[in-house]
Structure 1
Amino acid sequence: MTQQIPTVTLNNGIEMPRLGFGVFQVPDDETRAAVSTALEAGYRSIDTAAVYGNERGTGQALADSGIARDELFVTTKLWNSEQGYDSTLAAFDASLEKLGLDHVDLYLIHWPTPAKDTYLDTWRAFEEIYASGRARAIGVSNFLPEHLERVVAAGGTVPAVNQVELHPALQQRDIQAANAAHGVVTEAWSPLAQGGALLSEEPITAIADRLGRSPAQVVLRWHLQQGRVVIPKSVTPSRIAENIALFDFELTGDDLAAIDGLERDGRVGPHPTEVN
């Protein structure tokens, strides 16, 4: 292992790596190689989802690696069409089968789909899965504060993680505050924004030049120093290696503040109220 990745303790006591490898939009036939490259580079947390269509390739790479299961942290997500109590239980079984695992480390509701209003029934199924030990932690993704509050108010298990789009141009401060108030870890998807346009902007390029780092490393370090979990995605071996080399430098307070100043509601994915 080339890097010792720090962990965060979730609200149920489970340790989760602060840096993981995402496989969004990676075709299943390319996923096995990409995940294998990531594992060789030192990643131990892999983030997939049923809708990505690459749980099988992910599972094959995990099996190929020979890495002990307790050294790996595997996340997958329930797709919107499978929400509801019974359908969630069936979908989870299908994900486990594709992954070739007897448990996952984190299972997430992919979107709240508020127009369907099924996420509370779905959460009951998640709690049953959690109680069975087949998911070591359960959480949500793309939940706005009002969605999170309803789950918490139901009085059962508090989600361990809320994974949301978050990068310098969309910092989701209201969601981060709601998560923190309930002891929920904020995990950033699309942590670099998509397309890389953000990475060519001041002050990111100036900080990168000063530190002799890539703009992507600077932005990922910004996330880490502010307490978030991040899951950058790449299929390029050099980038996969670069994105894990984050633990031998630090940004200053001025650096963090300058990147904070890039906020502009620069959403690249859909708004959670519009996904059903």
Structure 2
Amino acid sequence: MTLKDTATLPNGVTIPKIALGTWMIEDDKVAEAVKTAVGLGYRHIDTAQAYGNERGVGEGIRNCGVARGDLFVQTKLAAEIKDYEGAKAAIDGSLATMGLDYIDLMIIHSPKPWADYAGADRFFEGNLAAWKAFEEALDAGKVRAIGVSNFQKADLDNLLQNARVKPMINQILAHVGNTPFALIDYARENGMLVEAYSPIAHGKILDNPEIGALATKYDVSIPQLCIRYILQLGLLVLPKTANPAHMKTNADVDFVISDADMTALKAITAKDYGDASVFPVYSGAE
């Protein structure tokens, strides 16, 4: 069963390969989504300070009926926090908001504040300052692993060359039609796992006829094909949904895409994000 499949972070911590994403699930509804997902077999839950739903996620984790040690919870430092004291306080804030004794994986949400995402400044000093707080939280047992999100090669190099602890994961936008192979390879070469968010391209990929034809060939849905594609690339995958039926089908991906069809999928270009293009990560800016 794919929901039980795990990968291993550089420090030996195991992480389930399929996570439930919770972006845009409201705080008063997300606890129920978490409990439903856990009931279906999910053991990996993703949230972020920016989502405004950490409280609800924590409630769901505490009340889902599965031991805390059997669950993997990751959250992300707000992209605007680029200083040591701010990051230190924010880590403690996430723990308090979720009502948890520890976080399994803490991630810097973006190398740049969202308002400056298209700018030239890569905030190297600020990221190193925030990362120092991450390293200390790791030492203190407040977090079990630390990583980054949306980091490009230069951002990764800043930490790889200057930090005491190397980043353990890079969570990035990756899906059929927009897979940053060079960045994925670079992260792996430097010991990181890679986790793909928006594996279904924020839903816009559902209208792609080429992908649809391949899904029909395997007698699966387009989301199932897209999630399986990510897993066969050796990445972790983060499909987001509050719909119990979708949670179930998103995890029902125990089939194999042929090498020839994987090659065809890799060659597709699909970067239309519709209304989501207003968000920095979908705008094409780096």
Mark yes or no: TM-score above 0.5.
yes
Moved more, 114-123 or 137-146: 114-123
Q: Which residue of structure 1 aligns with residue 240 of structure 2?
A: 233
SS of equivalent to 1:139 = strand
Whether 1:51 and 2:50 are equivalent positions in the alignment is yes
Count of residue correspondences: 272
Q: Name the structure 1 match of 2:221.
A: 214
| Cα distance, 1:199–1:137 mapped onto 2, change above 3 Å | same
The alpha-carbon deviation at position 172 of structure 1 amounts to 1.1
| CA-to-aligned-CA distance 1:49-77 (integer Å, 9 cap, x gap) | 01100000001111111211111000001
Identify unmatched segments of 5+ residues in structure 1.
Answer: none
CA distance in 2, matches of 1:176, 1:3: 22
Name the aligned partner's letter for residue 206 of structure 1. A
Distance 1:166 1:137 in 2: 22
Deviations 1:205-260 (A, max 9, x none): 1222122211100010000011000110111111111111112x111111211111
The answer on 1:42 being equivalent to 2:50 is no
Pair 1:192–1:30, CA change in 2 (3 A) = same
Counterpart of 2:264? Answer: 258
Contact 1:199 1:205 in 2 (8 A): yes
Letter in 2 for 1:251: I
* Offset, 1:204: 1.9
Residue identity in the other structure for 1:132: A
User: RMSD of aligned C-alpha atoms?
Assistant: 1.8
Following superposition, the deviation at residue 181 of structure 1 comes to 1.2
- Displacement of 1:262 in angstroms is 1.0
1:164 is matched with which residue: 132, 147, 172?
Answer: 172
Is 1:128 the counterpart of 2:136 in the alignment?
yes
Residue 183 of structure 2 corresponds to 175
Question: 1:200–1:215: 8 Å Cα contact kept in structure 2?
Answer: no
- Residues 1:35 and 1:66: Cα distance change in structure 2 (over 3 Å): same
Summarize deviations over 1:172-226 as a string: whole Å, max 9, x none.
12210210110111111111101x2212323321222122211100010000011
AA matched with 1:255: D
The one-character-per-residue Cα deviations of 1:153-184 (angstroms, maximum 9, x if unpaired) are: 01411111000111112111221021011011
Please give the alpha-carbon distance, in whole angstroms, between the structure 1 residues aligned to 2:8 and 2:84: 28
Identical-residue share of aligned pairs (%): 35
In 2, the alpha carbon distance for the partners of 1:78 and 1:109 equals 5
Q: Which amino acid aligns with 1:257?
A: T
> Could you list the runs of 5+ residues in structure 2 that have no partner in the other structure?
113-120
Matched AA of 2:70: E
Match of 2:116?
none
Q: C-alpha deviations, 1:126-178, integer Å up to 9, x for none?
A: 10011111111000000001100110001411111000111112111221021
Any runs of at least 4 consecutive aligned residues in structure 1 with deviations exceeding 6 A, and if so which?
none
Q: Residue in 1 aligned with 2:161? A: 153
